[in-house]
Structure 1
């Protein structure tokens, strides 16, 4: 049977509202926990009597003040920690942006220096030959030199235009059979360089499953493969050239390996830069754009290109393309 409510008046002559008592209990923390514990015990014992806990107002104010101070200090500490974290993040982002901008400026300066070098040599040869011919020092044999140097400039301009177009032209995707693409690229190289064509061998891993077709821009992908195969042919006068195709971890992997002159270790970090050429490749005709084109094409397709090389031993170029 329920006991009658306690009718004893409060100290100030009236009973505080029930909601205010509950709020004070929450603010004080400890009394609320005590009430919860007592209520749980009584409820478990089957006792449904009502219990009131009276607390003197000064104690409530003191307890609430302490609790609010703790909360305020916690909020301030949390806010300060977040501010420091945001400041550190901003600082790290600013430093990364500054470093990226500095690297971009350095790359641009290197590109301009290489472009100046590549343009200066053929222009100097053309001007010198032309001046000699005008002075009667040269004959008909001088003009083939001019033609060759002009052709060299034409190749450089064409390759630079290709590189610039790669970043903006939309991809014309279609289903591409990589094994067929590689076989056709090797067959097209053979008439241009019969010796290199005879040394090239294509191996395709078909077990436990073949490499499926991929969605790609056939023209661009053919250009990338032609450049890699052409480099292998140009820089390896003898020895086998292996072209390998396999599937690995959801990617199509194309490897082109040769036993040619290789690349000096000091030149490896910049092999994919525009107009970059290894120190031991100056005697071979080329613009230095080939690997830059390959890297740009693979990047546009969501793939990657990597190169391993040792001077005097050979080079291996690995192209990775996503299957989906």
Structure 2
């Protein structure tokens, strides 16, 4: 309510008490000692009536003031949460721009330096280097475009058996990298209940699974790669575990950022878009992704998709 309504309610609260108090005082001064049938002095009864009449609007006023204070506190908490989210988004965007600058600057510098050297004929492999760096830039731009498309393209859903989709992803990895494919073990929990078919965008989910399996193969040179599927509390849970190099603990909080690459992974080719792409696909399906990792021990990436009941 408005301030004017508050003032009016305050006046309504005070007027009965004031009028009845004046009336009772006038009666006392005039020597009016008439009694009610309940044998209560009329001045006291009049004063009590004023209190009763004032109690109703006073109670309403107190309740409204409490509600207003509660609303103010809730609004403040909502503003604080929004400010915190905006700060986090801004920090994430700044990290992305810094990484993008780094990823673009190095190939461009290499191209320019090699082009200059190639002009005087001192480097026979100069144009090969230029081609490799240009290819790296092309891949980065392609991955960024793919990520942008994933954010906006409508989902083309259909009922899918996740076990079959995982099997196809494992087969695709084995065709591309037979050594890594031979290390993959697929385990599916079916008892006491199996994961039912889910309504998903097959193309997008396949891209996410291919990225996760590809990362496991790239960052673990030996040891098994375990792919596990199970139902848990209304979610379809997919885990991809490896015994690879792992991720430093200080970098785990930013591993899903665009262009994020761990310091111990700089020697492996990649754009740093893969896990961001995976997180985007999961989010668009109403799911999520998380990671547990220890440097030198390995990583477990967990994908969760909601099961419609």
1:143 counterpart (95, 102, 127) = 127
The aligned residue for residue 37 of structure 1 is: none
2:282 maps to 1:298? yes
The aligned residue for residue 114 of structure 1 is: 99
Cα separation, 2, equivalents of 1:95 and 1:310: 34
The aligned residue for residue 282 of structure 1 is: 266
2:225 counterpart (198, 218, 241) = 241
2:227 maps to 1:230? no
Deviation sequence 1:204-262 (CA, Å, 0-9, x none): 11222332111000000000000000000000001110111111222111110000000
Give the 3-state SS of the residue equivalent to 1:274 in structure 2. coil
After TM superposition, the structure 1 stretch with the greater mean CA deviation from structure 2, 247-256 or 272-281, is 247-256
Give the 3-state SS of the residue equivalent to 2:257 in structure 1. coil
Q: Which runs of 5+ in 1 are unaligned?
A: 1-51
Q: Which runs of 5+ in 2 are unaligned?
A: 1-36
The aligned residue for residue 220 of structure 1 is: 204
Q: By how many angstroms is 1:58 displaced?
A: 4.3
Give the 3-state SS of the residue equivalent to 1:216 in structure 2. strand
Give the 3-state SS of the residue equivalent to 1:171 in structure 2. coil
Cα separation, 1, equivalents of 2:69 and 2:234: 42
| Corresponding residue pairs, total | 273
User: What is the TM-score normalised by the length of structure 1?
Assistant: 0.80
Q: By how many angstroms is 1:61 displaced?
A: 3.0
Matches within 5 A, 1:240-279: 240-279=224-263
The aligned residue for residue 58 of structure 2 is: 73
Cα separation, 1, equivalents of 2:290 and 2:80: 28
Q: Which has the larger radius of gyration?
A: 1
The aligned residue for residue 85 of structure 2 is: 100
Cα separation, 2, equivalents of 1:61 and 1:289: 80
Cα separation, 1, equivalents of 2:275 and 2:64: 51
The aligned residue for residue 63 of structure 1 is: 48
Q: By how many angstroms is 1:76 displaced?
A: 2.8
1:198 counterpart (182, 189, 209) = 182
